[in-house]
Amino acid sequence: MNPALEQHRLMHGLNDAERTRLLDCAEPHHYAVGTPVLRQGQAANRLVLITAGRVEVRLSGAGARVTSLETLGPGETLGWSWYVPPGRWQFDSWALEATDTLEFEAGCLRSAMSQEHAITEAVLGELVHTLAHRLTAARLRLLDLYANPGS
């Protein structure tokens, strides 16, 4: 196993058998610069762990400016919509650089989670950790800390 993956939070607390079970759900992918990783509105079917490169999360809509919301890099996970109804990607994400990922298929994950409590803990733990960090970051940015307070 890739040492970075071995160190990853997702693998913490899992024994060898559980790790194997989890990794059985995963497949590596490569994205060229400027290609989509996840498309807003499509069925959410996987959890994406970025192993190299950089991905931009965007929101687009009729009449709306395409806005870059956040950039994500190695070690960060992307895609929780497969776990949350209605099961469609809420955001677009695009590879800003040549990007390598490890992608866990949602159906396989669900079945592993239903069988192994430790895997449920690991996957939900990672999701909650990611959501908490993104929420904090979003709140910090809402504060608009660098705005000129005098203006």
Nearest distance from C-beta of residue 38 to another protein, angstroms: 16
Q: Which is nearer to another protein, 73 or 118 (CB)?
A: 73
Distance CA 63, CA 53 (A): 30
Q: Do 36 and 79 contact (CB within 8 A), yes or no?
A: no
Q: Which is nearer to another protein, 128 or 140 (CB)?
A: 140
Find the shortest distance in angstroms from Cβ 12 to another protein. 15
Choice between 31 and 109, CB closer to another protein? 31
Number of H helices and number of E strands within the chain?
Answer: 4, 8
Tokens 């949602």 found at: 106
- The nearest distance, CB 54 to another protein, in angstroms, is 8
CB 19, CB 69: distance < 8 Å: no
| Cβ closest to another protein, residue 9 vs residue 117 | 9
Minimum distance of another protein from residue 138's CB (angstroms): 9
| Rounded distance between C-alpha atoms, residue 125 and residue 45, angstroms | 19
End-to-end CA distance of the chain: 53
Q: Which positions touch another protein (CB under 8 A)? A: 54, 56, 65, 67-71, 73, 96, 136-137, 140-141, 143-151
